[in-house]
Amino acid sequence: MLLIRHSYLPQWWSLPGGKVKKGESPKETVVREVVEEIGTKIIPEFLTTVYSDREYKKVTIHLYTAHVDRKSIEIDEVEIDEAEWFSKNNLPKNLGWLARQAVSALQSQEFKNS
């Protein structure tokens, strides 16, 4: 699992991603954002959608699994402090809310496929 630590929330491991631009699909967004943040091209496959309904904003988040052409990482040092590949059995303890949602969705998918 690819996790990142954003420069604006360095205490939490999260997922690459960002806002959907006008005229762009969520799938196109994740491809663009991953290239921008870690310099790696991906082929995304939809996993699930989660919703954040916090008092200051409501957000729809589309989660994807992905195939990568290479596992090398070239981070955008303005936005990203660190990026690293983790095995599902060796995830960091300080996962942010979104990363925990992704882990839960992946575990649910694995259970359905077993």
DSSP 95: B
| pLDDT, tens digit, 9 for 90 and up, residues 35-73 | 999 999 999 999 999 988 877 788 899 999 999 988 889
Report the mean per-residue pLDDT for the chain.
Answer: 91
Assess contact for 37 and 77: CB atoms under 8 A: no
* pLDDT above 80 for 22: yes
Single-letter residue type at 86: F
2-113, which class in CATH? alpha beta
Burial (Cβ within 10 Å: 0-12, 13-18, ≥19) of residue 22: exposed
Residue owning tokens 């604006």: 8
Report domain extents, the chain: 2-113
Assess contact for 43 and 67: CB atoms under 8 A: yes
DSSP 14: B
